[in-house]
Amino acid sequence: MAALRTRIEAAQQKLNILHDSHNYRKTIQIVNSFPKIEMFLMEDTELERMLRSFTQMHRQAGVKVVVAPSASETGLTLLLIMPNEYYLPEHIERMEIYLRRYLKATAVESRLIHLASDYLSLHVNLQMDRKEVQLDLQQLEQGLTRITMPWKLKFRELLEKHFADDSFETWERYSKAFNKDYRSRTHPVCRSRCAQYRAVAARPERCLRPLGPFYEDRDYYLLQYYSLQRSFLNELMPYLQNLDLCVLQEIDSDLDVNGERVYIKSFAVRSNSPESLPVKEIKPLLLDTLMALRKGDVENDYLHQLLPLTGLSWREIDVFRGYRNYYFQLGSPFSKKRVADTLKNNAKVAHLLYRYFEGRFKPMLTGQTHGSGDGGPVTDPAGTGDRTGRG
């Protein structure tokens, strides 16, 4: 279309895009993937704005969104232009869901309309329940880019952001270590994965990292266990059960890093009890307890179920274990499970019992008041008038 070509060249001249320059060739390449009818219907200002965005697109890969004319009063037509490597079948469904939620559309339909050597175009029709729609194109493009960005590019972006000093070295060493099966099973957008990569890079003997939360019916977390030795589900399951964690699924991944085998065991877990504290509040305590259990620093028993209910650490829960064992030495008709269940069913009372014990017997600096940090004696939490110097 000669008329359209003339308008495009005029817009390029206004934007100082020199003929036969690198920007010119890249812009024309992207323009060739754009539907000509929608481009012909654009105003000159819209055409200039679109070409300006194209000059930025080839410098920084991502999804570009162009609002195209629509014949329907309650319809919205978007043209999505992206690098070919961003286009995967599983990404299309996620993009449609994202667009439906972001724009509050009643229906979304997309189709591939052009495929060039480096870029492609998607035509998206959205049915709206209102005539006027406000769009933040930059935010929309960022959201779609996060969804469609290939796994390796996300990995590199996260490394550059969080480990700038040695991101290139880490990228060269580990970019090929994560196989296709692991990439397809691992949540693609979790920012916390940087800690996971760092753990592997640090060559841990054993390391645990939580990822999430992810939300479905209830919040759940992906708990990943790293080791240079293969571990089995029956080794770790008793720990998770005694922490009152429900295992939704378990996946094993074996990675080869510079000739060394690294084993990653991933658990999707959530709390069993609706009365448990949110997992995000007790993540450090859970990890500390799991590492202590693996090292044999603490007994694995039912008393650990107090952790998600009270927020007590494994060392604090160990106080109940000491009193229980002393009580059993004196003779008791009850089992250890009965004692644990009693404390679990009265978790608030158990928490107050520990705080009372802490108030009376926990060593403190001279002149420091319990819980306040300023001067003064340590008073009895029960209000009996006793001081910690007694008993």
Place of tokens 């064992």: 325
Which residues is 66 bridged to in the sheet? 79
Given phi > 0 = left and psi -120 to 50 = alpha, else beta, which region is 103? alpha
Neighbours of 15 (CB within 10 A): 15
In this predicted structure, what is the pLDDT of residue 188? 45
Both structure tokens of 299: 């007994």
In this predicted structure, what is the pLDDT of residue 310? 94
In this predicted structure, what is the pLDDT of residue 205? 45
Place of tokens 């990995």: 155
* Alpha helices (H) in the chain, listed in sequence order: 2-14, 22-31, 36-40, 44-57, 89-103, 137-148, 151-162, 167-174, 180-185, 193-201, 233-242, 279-295, 306-310, 314-330, 336-345, 347-361
The domain locations on the chain are 2-149, 189-302
Chain segment 282-322, per-residue pLDDT in tens: 888 988 998 899 888 999 999 999 999 999 999 999 999 99
- pTM for the structure as a whole: 0.56
In this predicted structure, what is the pLDDT of residue 57? 58
Place of tokens 């290939």: 150
- CA-CA distance, 74 to 96, in Å (whole number)? 18
Both structure tokens of 197: 């990569």
In this predicted structure, what is the pLDDT of residue 370? 45
Residues in the chain with pLDDT values less than 50: 188-192, 194-195, 197-199, 201-206, 216-217, 365-366, 369-391
In this predicted structure, what is the pLDDT of residue 60? 60
Chain segment 160-171, per-residue pLDDT in tens: 776 667 777 777
Residue 88 CB partners (closer than 8 Å, separation 6+): 148
Element (H, E) at 219: strand 219-227
In this predicted structure, what is the pLDDT of residue 348? 94
